[in-house]
Homo-oligomer: A and B are copies of this chain.
Amino acid sequence: MKEYMNYLRKVDPYVPGEQPNLPNMIKLNTNENPYPPSPKVKEVWKQFSQNDLRLYPDPTSHKLNKAIADYYGLDESQVFTGVGSDDVLAMCFMTFFNSEKPILFPDITYSFYPVWAKLFDVKYEAIKLNENFCIEKEDYFKENGGIIFPNPNAPTGVELPLSEIEEILKHNPDSIVIADEAYIDFGGQSALSLLEKYDNLIIVQTFSKSRSMAGMRIGFAIGSPVLIKALHDVKYSFNSYTLNRMTIEIGAAAMADKAYFEETVQKIIETREWSKKEFKKLGFNFFDSKSNFIFVTHPNYNAKDLFLALRENNIFVRYFNADRINNYLRITIGTKKEMETLFDFLKSYIK
């Protein structure tokens, strides 16, 4: 073996999530939005000049950052954008988590947290959720090198109340606390209102779920100008031009159409609440999701078997072969019609 093979970075083998593309399939496996983004985005690219492609994009993504800042009533200096929230979160790990103390996150959580920690040599401690799969805020009151959790949590969909997030912030004035709000728009309460009071708070959101644009790869962080500048400094030193010209334009247009966005989100919330009733009728147990998915388990049926049976019928959901959650399925909320097809199948499966 060649010596250079010894110096390849060692990473946990990871196979990207299945992105099937079959006719008539019902895709409820990666928490995408069942509705397209605002029709206004298509107007943007129809008018896009081919000649503009030859020029570098604006490295500061000014137009997009401004649109996000305007939406939330913030200053542009409080916004950082990246190639999906995965990019933004990885940049946060790289930028903020450089102490020798371990960072803290839940044991059942977004699967990339431990991966980024290993990649950037960040010590971490995965803290067990309680038996109801909830975060116990007191577990995060000890010494640490930073804190991160999704809210609502993934893949459970459970929301941590704002008052408890504030308790965590209060007990950790010396740490950066990241609220990963990928699913916050589906009825959860954002930590945005705590920004003025807590300089150590970073909020990460994404265009991939509520904003219907997983295909465009846009995520963003919101925080104090000092911390956002630190993210920019690392980004500029690493890859100045990340968001391409079309992404900046399309993202800004989508952000500006608030009415369309709110209507879409409302439809998904309604379908979710209706779906909860249907799951209950069929004897499923689940947590009270505030996200665009429901994490379900059935006392009499094996989750993996059901996962495979659904798949056989062209219905794709997500199964995690991991400790404590291997009898659960994470089911994205699709259109009402897609969910009806799902429940038709489940009714025939659960006799």
Q: Which residues of A contact B (CB under 8 A)?
A: 2-9, 11-17, 19, 27, 30, 32-37, 39, 41-42, 45-46, 48, 50-60, 83-84, 86-87, 90, 94-99, 115-116, 119, 145-146, 173-176, 199-200, 208, 212-217, 226-227, 230, 233-234, 236-247, 250
Contacts and interface: CB of A to CB of B under 8 A. Distances in A.
B119 A237 contact: yes
A19 to B, nearest CB: 6
A125 to B, nearest CB: 16
A241 B54 CA distance: 24
A86 B240 CA distance: 8
Given A45-B45, A54-B33, A57-B217, A14 B244 contact: no
Contacts of A175: 3-4
A79 to B, nearest CB: 17
B98 A200 contact: no
A50 B54 contact: no
23 contacts: A4-B99, A4-B175, A5-B226, A7-B146, A9-B94, A12-B237, A15-B236, A30-B56, A34-B54, A36-B51, A37-B50, A42-B50, A45-B45, A45-B246, A46-B46, A53-B212, A53-B213, A54-B213, A54-B214, A54-B215, A56-B215, A116-B238, A217-B243
A99 B8 CA distance: 9
B59 A16 contact: yes
A116 to B, nearest CB: 7
Contact of A3 (B6, B87, B174, B233): B174
